[in-house]
Amino acid sequence: MAIPILIEAGIPCMGDKDTTYLREDIRGLFDNLPAIWDETRFIDGYPGKYVVLARRHGDTWYLAAVNAGKEPLKLRLDLDMFAGKTVSQYKDDKKGEPQLVPLKVKENGKVQLEIFPQGGAVLINK
């Protein structure tokens, strides 16, 4: 789910099963995905291991994170763009199935994310 936000290309990169994109709760993410970005911020990462990138379109922020490792990744992030807000969190569960859950971000913008191996997460402040 995070790849279309991470990779900016003329043709969106959709690297999952077709049934993932047909689910009503997940389709909302892709139906409204912008074609261009107003701002991009590198949040965290290490080459070949993981990356966390935030992109803004208008007033809406999209944060994408992927874990290329073989172990779950626990990240503590400072996300001022989401401070004090409840955001939509799209994330892979332990089986790699996507889920949509609300996430309340602390007033100081601190967030802890767990990303399963070969999985990802997306946060949106809509």
Question: Is 49 in contact with 74 (CB distance < 8 Å)?
Answer: no
Domains detected in the chain: 3-124 (2.60.40.1180)
- pLDDT (tens place) for every residue of the chain, 126 residues total: 788 888 877 566 666 666 666 666 777 777 778 888 999 999 999 999 999 999 999 999 999 999 999 999 999 999 999 999 999 999 988 888 889 999 999 999 999 999 999 999 999 997
How far apart CA 57 and CA 80 sit, in angstroms, is: 16
With 0.85 as the threshold, say if the pTM is over it: yes
